[in-house]
Chain A
């Protein structure tokens, strides 16, 4: 009896407190809101809003996430190095590792010289939102760093993150032209492509150019990074021709990679790096956006792994490891354009389709005698285009239309293919882009670098 009385009394008191509390709390909030609104109104008229402690804390968090994303994108270069060297033959292993070490270095340097200023010209558009240039080199803008990009990151973080991206586009080419390209020609191509072509094309969307004005959406670079790299890979492959012994009397001869564990490590590194590639492309640490992007990225890759496994089982009679690895990367490339604007269900469909198309794409490029040792065309070009179009099909944002996505993919495809073809063609005429037959047969490690990747081991070099 006593207990019941106490409980009833307690609940009455509690209800009273709540009842008394509610209006006062609401009043306080209302008052605060009015104050803030009037304050902002006054401030806007006079000077920029004063930076609060909360703003500074968010600035630090946002900036940290984008910097960490840049580091994850850097890790992807190791992933590319592993995948490409594993899928090539042992006699060319050093050469591929060499190219993949030089690519981020040359890419970052050339992006600093003029790439960054071409890609993000700001207000310095020279010709109709098609071409802008903010001057050679890096120039830290004056003023409080927090004002540089709405409190999201500093100028240096911006350059760091975008510079890592730039070199990624060139690395895609490295895999497709592997085992026969002349080192110097490849390095010159990389420097020109990263400092001129990639940033000008990128400025049309990410730099606020004409495609951006049409609401063309490429969240993290299915087009601006992957298909731009993929088109360059295509022109490189066409101008180089196939490796010796790849197509004999019209028949496709397999040239097997030499280290599948290395390929697997590389794919996992790329997969991990992609969380920075896509996740930090939100350009801030907005909790709900970034977490959705990470889930979409992971689930599309997972769907693509499963669908490429099944497709290779049906088409090639075995669940092929290298195809499944290509499938994983295909799913990641496919979801990159729309990771922030599609539902999780749509991300699964995008991934499934990516995994399915990558297998026939590899077979198709072999049929038409385009020799791509690592499947870069099927992964980055085909799925870069697919991912861009998928935004038009699955986006929850109505402004992103299929028509504009198609227009962007086609125009960027034409421009990147034509310009990369021109660069490779000029190099071919001037200094040649392919090693001699003897060097190709002996292996690029011995001929270009004077050393082997596996000294003390003996392989049949004709493999």
Chain B
């Protein structure tokens, strides 16, 4: 069981979702996030004044999968989110100790699947 956390460009969310759907990955949670990486933000002109924007808008995906779905998930996210420009985002893969489906009380691989 792995938890895959990805930060992507907000406007790539739809392509990523489509790429994941094509790989039979439907369970996904999405939140808005602010942050920056290598790019360290950008400078923005507003009414003639320069404004430094350090925190960029990103979308954070959290997807819990069984081990055999880890690679397809990573592939899907990369396929949907990659534009080749700086700021495309990052993917983190974390181990999961336990998973419980609240409604049924199922645990482990069954609860995720």
On whether the beta carbons of A461 and B10 are closer than 8 Å, the reply is yes
On whether the beta carbons of B11 and A462 are closer than 8 Å, the reply is yes
Q: Give the one of A245, A438, A458 with max B CB within 10 A.
A: A458
- Report the bound CA distance from A450 to B44 in whole Å: 7
Say yes or no for A441: interface residue by CB 8 A criterion.
Answer: yes
- Report the bound CA distance from A438 to B30 in whole Å: 21
What's the nearest-Cβ distance from chain A to residue B62, in Å?
15
On whether the beta carbons of B13 and A462 are closer than 8 Å, the reply is yes
Say yes or no for B109: interface residue by CB 8 A criterion.
Answer: no
Say yes or no for A137: interface residue by CB 8 A criterion.
Answer: no
What's the nearest-Cβ distance from chain B to residue A172, in Å?
29
- Report the bound CA distance from A444 to B34 in whole Å: 21
Say yes or no for A345: interface residue by CB 8 A criterion.
Answer: no
Chain B residues, CB < 8 A from A462: 10-11, 13-14, 59
On whether the beta carbons of B46 and A245 are closer than 8 Å, the reply is no
Say yes or no for B45: interface residue by CB 8 A criterion.
Answer: yes
On whether the beta carbons of A458 and B32 are closer than 8 Å, the reply is yes
What's the nearest-Cβ distance from chain A to residue B113, in Å?
27
- Report the bound CA distance from A23 to B105 in whole Å: 106
Closest A-B pairs by Cβ, 7 of them: A441-B11, A461-B10, A462-B13, A458-B32, A462-B14, A442-B11, A461-B11
- Report the bound CA distance from A461 to B57 in whole Å: 10
Q: Give the one of B14, B30, B44 with max A CB within 10 A.
A: B14
Interface residues of B in 8-60 (CB under 8 A from A): 10-14, 30, 32, 34, 44-46, 57, 59
Chain A residues, CB < 8 A from B57: 458, 461
Q: Which residues of A are interface residues toward B (Cβ below 8 A)?
A: 245, 438, 441-443, 450-451, 458-462
Assuming the contacts A458-B32, A460-B59, asked whether A245 and B14 have C-beta atoms less than 8 A apart, the reply is: yes
Assuming the contacts A458-B34, A460-B59, asked whether A450 and B45 have C-beta atoms less than 8 A apart, the reply is: yes
Q: Give the one of A451, A459, A460 with max B CB within 10 A.
A: A460
> Given A441-B11, A462-B59, 17 more contacts at CB 8 Å?
A245-B14, A441-B12, A442-B11, A443-B11, A450-B44, A450-B45, A450-B46, A451-B46, A458-B32, A458-B34, A458-B57, A459-B32, A460-B30, A460-B59, A461-B11, A462-B10, A462-B11
- Report the bound CA distance from A459 to B12 in whole Å: 14
- Report the bound CA distance from A462 to B14 in whole Å: 6
Of chain B, the residue at the smallest CB distance from A248 is B18
- Report the bound CA distance from A123 to B45 in whole Å: 53
Chain B residues, CB < 8 A from A442: 11
Q: Give the one of B11, B13, B44, B46 with max A CB within 10 A.
A: B11
Checking A245, A451, A460 against B10 with a beta-carbon cut-off of 8 angstroms, the contacting residue is A460
What's the nearest-Cβ distance from chain B to residue A102, in Å?
18
On whether the beta carbons of B46 and A460 are closer than 8 Å, the reply is no
- Report the bound CA distance from A451 to B49 in whole Å: 12
Sample of 5 A–B contacts (CB below 8 Å): A438-B83, A441-B12, A450-B44, A460-B13, A461-B13
